[in-house]
Amino acid sequence: MGMKEEVKDHLVSAIIPFWKSLRDDEFGGYYGYMDYDLKLNKKAEKGCILNSRITWFFSNAYTLLKDPSLLDEADHGYEFLKNHCIDSENGGIFWSMNYDGTPLDTTKHTYNQAFCIYALSSYYEASGKREALDLAFQLFHMIEEKCTDDQGYLEAFTKDFKPESNEKLSENGVLAEKTMNTLLHVLEAYTELYRVSKDKEVEERLKWIMDTFAEKVYNSELERQEVFFDKNYNSIIDLHSYGHDIETAWLMDRTVDVLGDETYRQKMTPITKALTKKIYEVAFDGHSLSNECDKGVVDTNRVWWVQAETVVGFLNGYEKDPSKVEYKEAAEAEWQFIKDHVIDPRNGSEWFWLVRQDGSPVEGEPIVEPWKCPYHNGRMCMEVIRRL
């Protein structure tokens, strides 16, 4: 089997059945936690990001594979988002729910709103339900009205949209007022919303976000994105996030393709090419990708989602410039590493969260939790199927 056939087989025979098995028919949505020993906790919190991403995954998988059971799963995810996760009183989506669908963490985070838009847009494409698109636009207008200042997108808010500090998307010992990560996933969500609606207002915001990436987030001297910022987009830490850079390279190219605006193609393509080249040179060791470099110290652990994005990022780099055969080879080598080390061979599991550079799993990291879902690896499979 070639890479495309292997990836499709893995999607259909491993990833899809695993996530179907986490469906909660009693309380809605999908179970939120499975530990390293494959013990499922049916009473764990249900992250709204998790449930948005699962809904997105099944919607996209249905659009690609046309298996009616996948649309049924997407319907199930959508009902949970609509009836439980979205705040009917104040608008917006909560951070997390209790296992029974009652609100647990009522923080409204811009990143989380974006993922719900991403899910609703794809679900609208899969199902044709206008209601889902209307909900996506409600969230879009809410982000634009309540989650921005004159510099860009703010991060965290209380239930009724009063600003609060951004612990949820800050790491590495800093508290960020703005993050590259949130901006990236607003871009991704708006791209999906624009793709299914061709709405002019969404188009204008996409252009604004790309301008902000080019002028404030991308560091042209270091050929990397800065990660954590103060409110004016001044970087507050020396951090190179390898996974986010290779992910941004292909997501930005996707946005440019969806927009079809030649001015932005000229503006963004040199950046996405530079990001891909830099990651290939500094973070890829011939078979897999390190996590990040914090103040000059490289974290060589292999994070599941970083490996998935590496496959797509290098495949995209090769597609955009077929002379870069080394990128195609890198994508193939990364897929081999994933097969050999990141996919958990145990029955009833999926991918390990974290493996060491030598491929040995880091024990104790959960198989499912609020961030660990079929979004990165499922999307990798679908992108490979579409591209090869």
Residue 362's domain is classified under what CATH number? 1.50.10.10
Residues 103/156, Cβ–Cβ less than 8 Å: no
pLDDT at site 306:
98
Task: Name the residue type at position 194.
Answer: Y
pLDDT at site 365:
98
CA 137 to chain centre: 20
Q: Which two tokens stand for residue 363?
A: 């024990």
Residues 85/26, Cβ–Cβ less than 8 Å: no
CA distance 320 to 381: 19
Task: Name the residue type at position 369.
Answer: E
Nearest one of 341, 339, 309, 381 to 12, comparing CA atoms: 381
pLDDT at site 301:
98
Nearest one of 125, 58, 45, 122 to 85, comparing CA atoms: 45
pLDDT at site 101:
98
The total of other beta-carbon atoms located within 10 Å of residue 253's CB is 22
Task: Name the residue type at position 120.
Answer: L
Q: How many residues are present in the chain?
A: 388
CA distance 131 to 134: 5
Task: Name the residue type at position 108.
Answer: K
pLDDT at site 55:
98
Q: What is the largest CA-CA distance in the chain?
A: 54
Q: What is the tens place of the pLDDT at every residue in 203-220?
A: 999 999 999 999 999 999
pLDDT at site 281:
98
SS3 197: helix
Give me the number of domains the chain comprises. 1
Nearest one of 209, 176, 28 to 102, comparing CA atoms: 28
Strands 302-303 and 354-355: antiparallel
User: Structural domain of residue 268, as residue ranges?
Assistant: 3-387
The total of other beta-carbon atoms located within 10 Å of residue 91's CB is 17
In which residue ranges of the chain is pLDDT below 50?
A: none
Averaged confidence pLDDT in the chain = 97
Nearest one of 279, 350, 254, 330 to 3, comparing CA atoms: 330
CA distance 193 to 77: 18
Q: What is the tens place of the pLDDT at every residue in 345-381?
A: 999 999 999 999 999 999 999 999 999 999 999 999 9
Q: What is the tens place of the pLDDT at every residue in 112-137?
A: 999 999 999 999 999 999 999 999 99
CA distance 75 to 229: 38
Residues 255/267, Cβ–Cβ less than 8 Å: no
pLDDT at site 386:
97
